[in-house]
Structure 1
Amino acid sequence: MAWDEWEQLKSSAAERDSAKMQLNGLPPEDRPNAGSASGGFLKVDQQDLAAIGNEAFKLYNRLWKEARVTSTDSAASDLSGQGFALGGALSHVSLRWDKQLGSVMDACALISNHMDFTQNAHAGDEIFIERHVSSIQTLDAGFDDDWAKAGKPNEIYKPDPKAKKD
Structure 2
Amino acid sequence: MSWDEWEQLKADAAAGGSAPMQLNQAPSENGSWAESASGDMKSDKKAWVKAGDSVTGLRTGVGKALVKLADGQTGLGDTSGCRSAVAQKQLYDSWKKYVGDVSDRCAALGGLLQKVGHDLSKSDQEVKADIEKLEVTYKDTEAVGGRTGGR
Structure 1 length normalisation: TM-score? 0.46
1:111–1:91: structure 2 CA closer, same or farther, 3 Å change rule?
Answer: same
Structure of greater Rg: 1
Query: Which has the bigger relative contact order, CA under 8 A and spacing at least 6?
Result: 2
- Contact 1:60 1:108 (C-alpha < 8 Å) held by counterparts: yes
Preserved CA contact (<8 Å) 1:53 1:113: yes
- 1:2-151 aligned at under 5 Å gives the runs 23=14, 28=19, 36=34, 38-39=36-37, 43-68=42-67, 69-76=69-76, 78=77, 80=79, 83-122=81-120
**Residue type of the alignment partner of 1:71:** D
Residue 63 of structure 1 and its aligned partner are, at CA, apart by: 0.5
Shift of 1:72: 3.9
State whether residues 72 and 94 of structure 1, in contact with CA within 8 Å, keep that contact through their aligned partners in structure 2. Answer: no
The Cα shift of 1:32 comes to: 7.4
Question: Is there any run of 5+ residues in structure 1 with no aligned partner, and where?
Answer: 1-20, 124-166
Measure how far apart 1:90 and its partner are: 0.6
Q: 1:24 to 1:98 in 2, by over 3 A?
A: farther
Q: Distance in 2 between matches of 1:120 and 1:32?
A: 23
CA offset at residue 55 of structure 1? Answer: 1.1
RMSD (CA atoms): 3.4
The question of whether the paired residues in 2 share the 8 Å contact of 1:49 and 1:119 is answered with yes
Identity of counterpart residues, as a percentage?
16
Which range moves more in the overlay, 36-45 or 84-93?
36-45
**CA pair 55-22 structure 1, distance change in 2 beyond 3 A:** closer
Partners of 2:49 and 2:114 within 8 A in 1 = yes
